[in-house]
């Protein structure tokens, strides 16, 4: 019975400590900047187009084949009178968030730093009623970056892991 008394004292000591609950919908815990929610495409604010050139590198590297990339000639390329240095640019881009396993590989393989993991809460609060809504198209993927709503985290030694 003494052992039981000890258990009860232990629980009592917890009873007297304040609760540790984070009041979630009201209080959002600050996310670490490395947080990996889902990949997003970055927007080149200078030229007002996505960084992505549609090079398919990420599509091929994705372990779960959840990306689809279609590339087109850039209508904004300098050769056709635009101000962009990208000859090719992304035409259509889908990422199936429902399948993505958030492995960061697409970010690591992209040579244009055009894709980054969403490290804001918007990347986590993505419940939908239809799974087709989880297939993000180009517009959805870029809008957050377009608005400047994402601060991309670049690994300090990120170059070291091109395995």
Contact 72, 55 (CB under 8 A): no
Restricting to residues 108-147, name those near another protein by CB under 8 A.
108, 117, 119, 121, 124-132, 134-135, 137
Which listed residue (37, 40, 69, 141) binds ligand SF4 by CB under 6 A? 69
> Residue 50: which of 145, 156, 150 has the closest Cα?
145
How many other CB atoms sit within 10 Å of the CB of residue 130?
A: 6
Q: How far is the CB of 4 from ligand SF4 (least distance, A)?
A: 39
Q: How far is the CB of 1 from another protein (least distance, A)?
A: 5
In Å, what is the CA distance from 35 to each residue of 48, 50, 124?
26, 22, 10
Restricting to residues 73-112, name those near another protein by CB under 8 A.
92, 94-105, 108
In Å, what is the CA distance from 88 to each residue of 24, 61, 73, 75, 140?
43, 20, 5, 9, 20
Q: Which range binds ligand SF4 by CB under 6 A, 16-24, 61-69, 76-84, 145-153? A: 61-69
Say whether residue 61 binds another protein (CB under 8 A): yes
Residues forming the site for ligand SF4 (CB under 6 A): 39, 52-58, 62-64, 66-67, 69, 90, 95, 100-106, 109-110, 112, 114-115
């Amino acid at each position: 019975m003494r052992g039981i008394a000890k258990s009860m004292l232990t629980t009592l000591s917890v009873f007297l400590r304040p609760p540790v609950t984070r009041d979630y919908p009201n209080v959002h815990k600050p996310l670490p900047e490395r947080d990996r929610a889902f990949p997003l495409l970055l927007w080149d604010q200078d030229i007002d187009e996505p960084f992505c050139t549609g090079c398919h590198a990420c599509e091929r590297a994705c372990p779960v084949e959840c990306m689809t990339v279609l590339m087109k000639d850039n209508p904004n390329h300098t050769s056709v009178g635009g101000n962009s240095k990208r000859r090719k640019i992304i035409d259509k881009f889908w990422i199936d968030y429902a399948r993505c396993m958030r492995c960061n590989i697409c970010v690591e393989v992209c040579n244009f730093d055009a894709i980054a993991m969403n490290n804001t809460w918007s990347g986590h609060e993505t419940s939908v009623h239809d799974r087709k809504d989880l297939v993000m198209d180009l517009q959805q993927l870029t809008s957050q970056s377009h608005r400047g709503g994402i601060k991309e985290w670049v690994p300090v030694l990120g170059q070291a892991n091109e395995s």
